[in-house]
Amino acid sequence: MKFEVIDTTIPTLGPLKIPSPIKRGEKGELRRSFVNDTDKVVMDVDLNHINEMIQEGQSLPAFELAGPRENLYFDPSKLRCGLVTCGGLCPGLNDIIRAIVLELFYGYGVQNIYGFKYGLQGFIPKFMHDIMDLKPETVANIHEMGGSILGSSRGPQPIEEIVDSIERMNIGILFMVGGDGTLMAAAKIADAITERGLKISVVGIPKTIDNDIYLVSRSFGFDTAVDVATQAIRSAHNESAAYPNGIGLIKLMGRYSGFIAATATLAQQDVNFVLIPEVDFDLEGPNSFLAALEKRLNQRGHAVIVVAEGAGQKFFENITTERDESGNIRLKDIGLFLKDAIISYFHTKGIDVSLKYIDPSYMIRSLPANANDNVFCSFLGRDAVHAGLAGKTKLLVGRWNNHFVHIPMSASAGKRKKIDPREKLWLGVLGATGQGSLKND
C-alpha cells in the first residue's frame, strides 16, 4: 500500500528549557533512554516504494518516535493536567487513565491531575458535573474494571466554552481519549487555544474498538474484542453443529471496517461466511449469499456466519442520513435483517433450519481489557505523558510499524482505515472460509 505524502511535523509550544526529572541512571541502575525529535519511523516500509521516492528526489514520510525527551517545556512542579474520555465505551479506557496518572505522578512529580466527568459535557458549566481529583490511590485498581471511571458521553459541545473551562482551571496539558469524532473536536480545541495565544498542549489517545483510525495500525481494545468474539464464534459453532441444518449467526462491531469480524474469523476458524462493509454481496440469485448458504447446508449440515454491523446496508429501503449524537449515520440492524431473511428463504423452500443469533457487542465494549491490551494501554498512556510534557500539541500517540509514534491530528482526523480486499487479511479470510465471491455478477 502506497501512502500519500503528508506533513508529519508536530507543533510545539516553545523551546525546551527544563531538564527532565527522569534520570538516565548510573551503571547498574534502571535506565530510561531519552528520545530525540530526529528519531523517526518511516511510514512506508516497502522497499520498492522507498526506492521510487528516493529516485524521484522525494523525502520519505516518517513519524516522530514517541518517548521521553531529555528537556521539557512544562515545569512538572507547577503543572496542572486534565483528562477526559469520550464516545462509546471500550476495553482499556481505565488502563489508559491509570497509565497517564501514574506516569505524571511518579515519573514527573505532577501533583495536580483532574478528570473531567462524562466526556465533553464535563467542561460545560450547565451540566454541573464534578471534577475528579486523580491520584495514584484513585487509579490503583481501576485496570481490573470495565468502562471508564470518568464516564463518557456522545455529541459535540461548544468549543469556546470548553476552552474557557480549560483556561479557568489553568490546565497546561489536556489528554483526550476518544475516536474520530473526539479527535476532530480535539483539533478544534487546539486551534481555539492557539487563536487565544494560550500555551496549552492537547494530546489525543485514539480509541476505537473497530480498529479503523487512519494511520494507526492498532487501537486499544481491539485485541480484547477479538478475544471475546472468538468465544462467540465457538459458541455459535457448537450450537449449529448440534442441530440438523443448524446455523450460527454472530453480529460483531464494525460500522465501516470489518477488522474485528475478519480477525476473529482467522483466530477461530469455524466460520463459513464473513460479511463486512468493504466487500459487497448479494442476498439472492445463483451466486448470492443465500444460495451459497443453502449449498453449505446441503454439503455439511451446519454453518456459521459472522457479519459486521455496517455490512449490507444497501438492503434497507428508505435509508436516511439520520445521525446519532456523535455524528455517525444510524445504521440499520443487519444482524436481525439477516436472521429474518435466512429463515424466510428456507421456509419458502420447505427446509427446516435451526438458527441461533448472537450479538455480544455491548458485552464486549464494557469488559476489562485483556493482558495484551493492558500492556498496550500502558505504553500509549505513558508516551502521551512524555509528549505533553515536552510541549507537543495537536497530536495522537499511536502504533506504526512496531513503534509508538507521534501522528499529527490533521493527518488522521476525519479519515478511516478499511480492509483492502486485495491484501493478506481478507485473502486469509477467503482461504479460511472458502466462501468466494457472493456477488451474482
* C-alpha cell belonging to residue 325: 449524537
Catalytic residue among 95, 180, 210, 270: 210
The set of residues, in sequence order, having a beta carbon less than 8 Å from that of 83 and lying 6+ positions away, is 97, 100, 101, 113, 114, 115, 116, 134, 150, 174, 175, 177
In 3D space, the residue among 178, 234, 229 whose CA is nearest the CA of residue 364 turns out to be 229
Instruction: Give me the DSSP letters along 351-414.
Output: ---EEEEE--HHHHHTSPP-HHHHHHHHHHHHHHHHHHHTTB-SEEEEEETTEEEEEEHHHHTT
- The answer to whether 391 touches 14, Cβ cutoff 8 Å, is yes
Instruction: Give me the DSSP letters along 73-127.
Output: SS-GGG-EEEEEE-SS--TTHHHHHHHHHHIIIIIH---EEEEESSGGGGG-GGG
Parallel, antiparallel, or unpaired: how do β-strands 395-400 and 201-206 relate?
parallel
7 is catalytic: no
Instruction: Give me the DSSP letters along 320-352.
Output: ---B-TTS-B----HHHHHHHHHHHHHHHTT--
In 3D space, the residue among 331, 89, 372 whose CA is nearest the CA of residue 226 turns out to be 372
In 3D space, the residue among 166, 93, 219, 217 whose CA is nearest the CA of residue 393 turns out to be 166
Parallel, antiparallel, or unpaired: how do β-strands 112-116 and 131-133 relate?
antiparallel
Active site residues: 210
